[in-house]
Amino acid sequence: MFFILLVLGLIVLAYIFRQVVVIGKSCKSNAKLHGKTVIVTGSNTGIGKTTAIVLAKRGARVILACRSKQRGEAALEDIKRASICRFFLSFSAKLVRIKDFSCTIQLCYV
Ligand SMILES: NC(=O)c1ccc[n+]([C@@H]2O[C@H](COP(=O)([O-])OP(=O)(O)OC[C@H]3O[C@@H](n4cnc5c(N)ncnc54)[C@H](OP(=O)(O)O)[C@@H]3O)[C@@H](O)[C@H]2O)c1
pLDDT one-digit tens code per residue, 79-97: 888 776 555 556 655 555 6
For ligand 1, atom 31, which residue shows the shortest CA distance?
95
Of 43, 45, 46, nearest in space to 56 by CA: 43
96 found inside a domain: yes
d(CA 56, CA 36): 10
Residues of the domain holding 87: 29-109
CATH number of domain containing 77:
3.40.50.720
Q: Quick check: 90 and 72 in contact, CB under 8 A?
A: yes
Query: Does residue 7 belong to any structural domain of this protein?
Result: no
Nearest to 65 by CA among 45, 38, 93, 87: 93
Number of other residues whose CB lies within 10 A of the CB of residue 11: 10
57 lines ligand 1 (CB under 6 A): no
Domain membership of residue 58 (yes or no) is yes
Residues 32-84 pLDDT 10s: 999 888 889 888 899 999 999 888 889 888 888 888 888 888 888 888 887 76
DSSP class of 67? S
CA distances from 35 to 32, 56, 73, 82, 104 (A): 9, 11, 24, 20, 20
11 against 63, higher pLDDT: 11
Is residue 106 very low, low, confident or very high in pLDDT (cuts 50, 70, 90)?
A: confident
Tell how far the Cα of 102 is from the centroid of ligand 1, in angstroms. Answer: 21
Please report the pLDDT score of residue 92 as a whole number.
56
- Global pTM? 0.76
Number of independent structural domains in the chain: 1
